[in-house]
Every structure is written in structure tokens, then in C-alpha cells.
Copies of this chain bind each other. A is one copy, B any other.
Amino acid sequence: MTVFTAVQQAGGADTTLPSREARLAYRDGMASSTAGVANGFVQGNLAILPEKLAGAFHRFCQLNPKPCPIIGMSDLGDPRIPALGLDLDIRTDVPRYRVWRDGEVTEEPTDIMQHWRDDLVAFVLGCSFSFEEALMDEGLPIRHIERNVRVPMYRTNIACSPSGPFAGPMVVSMRPFKPADAIRAVQITSRFPSVHGAPVHLGHPHLIGINDIAKPDYGDPVPVAADEIPVFWACGVTPQAVIANAKLPFAITHAPGLMLITDLRNKQLAVL
């Protein structure tokens, strides 16, 4: 059973799903953070591009599956993605959007009805929220969640494989663990390739171009104790940074922290 068919068996038509209730609230104009909303359901990063750029972006995701794992995409000009929610409408169901023109954010609307066009393709990319649930279910402590701050994220010296105008460094998120927990975290997140999968690095931050672990490029710093090592995962901020860097004439993304909530359950993404 694939991610794409699983939702139908998971209750895509069930109108009482908390994920669907949340989407309907956002559709009605609510514009708050999705952190902690509809726990257990997959949240996704959004990228909407015109057809003439969508092929190169799709290939970028294909070439860089760890930072850019596609969990759903629309058909050309079609605002629905039924595999992620039978009634999902990508024009209205994200709490807040960012409209990009020539590499700058020009608007942050709560829907994109007036921006939608017949030549647009929507991509939904997996997010670390899903594997964090799996880590917590196994009893692993997650520092930034305990402290109620954003996960620390860093630009690295790991170059993504380029495709057309899309190029740039991989962005990673960091979670500190005691070594035995780090090993367990590798095992657990390996089960979730569609939401970044196994870590890309652990220990020695400078080897991937991180000079000061206390100064993340995005998010908030968290302490790494002497008996812990930092563990780094490919991060969904990578495609956002790459899209910004490409200075495209037109693109739409979600606003940071205000994600698309799907009817997929995190547990369904496990491959093992």
C-alpha cells in the first residue's frame, strides 16, 4: 500500500477527522500556526510553481529526496490532491501563503483563489513533525519541543544536486541526543524516508560547514550537553531556500510554521 492510496483506507471520506476539521477552519480564514494541531496527522511543506518550472523542480526533488521528499502533488491546474485529503483544496486549506515574485515575498494571503491559474502545479513535501512523533512515541526526548522553541536549522556545505534554476546548499535541522538514543533515532527515522528519513550527519558540526552550533541560521538555538551529540537531518527549509534563491518570476509557498494538514497519519508513512 503506497502513501498515495493509504489515505483512502485511512478514512479520507471521514468527515470527523481532526485533520479535516482543521483544514476547514483554515479554509474559513483562520491563520495560526499548525504546530500541535491535529496531532498524529502528516503536515506538509507547500511549493506551487508554473508548469514551465514545475518539471525542473520535480527533478530537483527527485535528485535530492532527503531534503525534498514529495508526499503529494496536484495534476496540472487542478487544485485538488485527493491522495492527501478527498476534499482538500490547495488554494484555501493552508493557513497562510507566501506569494513570491522575482525572489521576493510580495503578499502573505490566507487563500490564493485570485492567484490560482490553469498552468500551476502544487507539490507537498514531507516535514520532520512526522518523524518527531515517532521518536517521542519511542520515548526519545526532543530538546526544542521540551523547551517550546523552534528546531534549530543550519545551512551546510552539502550542495544539493541542481536542476534548472534550482540549486543551493542543503539546510539541516539538529536534535541533540545521548549516543544510545542517537543510534535509536537513526533506526527509527530510517523507517520514514518520505519525511527526510535517516540523519545526514552526526557529531562534528564543522565537517558540514556549521561553525557555531549555538547560532542557527533559522529557528532557535538549543543547548547540546557534554554527554550528547548533535544529530542532523535534511530539512524542508531547503526547497524554500532554493526557491527564494532561484528568484523565479512567480511561485507560491506556505508561510513558515503554517503548514498543510493532510488526512494521512504519520504512522502510515513508516516503511518497516
Contacts and interface: CB of A to CB of B under 8 A. Distances in A.
Interface size class of A (residues with CB under 8 A): 20 to 34
A70 interface: yes
Contact of A198 (B4, B55, B197, B271): B271
A193 B194 CA distance: 11
Nearest to A67: B2
Interface in A142-166: 161, 163
B271 A190 contact: yes
A63 B84 CA distance: 12
A264 to B, nearest CB: 14
A193 B271 contact: yes
Contacts of A58: 55, 58, 62
A2 B161 CA distance: 10
Nearest to A5: B161
A122 to B, nearest CB: 12
Given A2-B65, A66-B2, A161-B5, A190 B272 contact: yes
Contact of A272 (B64, B70, B83, B187): B187
A198 B197 CA distance: 17
Contact of A62 (B55, B73, B76, B271): B73
A21 interface: no
Q: Which 10 A-B pairs have the closest CB atoms?
A: A190-B272, A4-B63, A55-B55, A4-B161, A190-B271, A193-B271, A2-B65, A58-B58, A2-B66, A62-B70
Given A59-B75, A190-B272, A193-B271, 18 more contacts: A1-B200, A2-B63, A2-B65, A2-B66, A2-B161, A4-B64, A54-B55, A55-B55, A59-B73, A62-B70, A63-B83, A187-B272, A190-B271, A191-B272, A193-B193, A197-B271, A271-B271, A272-B272
Contacts of A70: 62
A44 to B, nearest CB: 14
A97 to B, nearest CB: 23
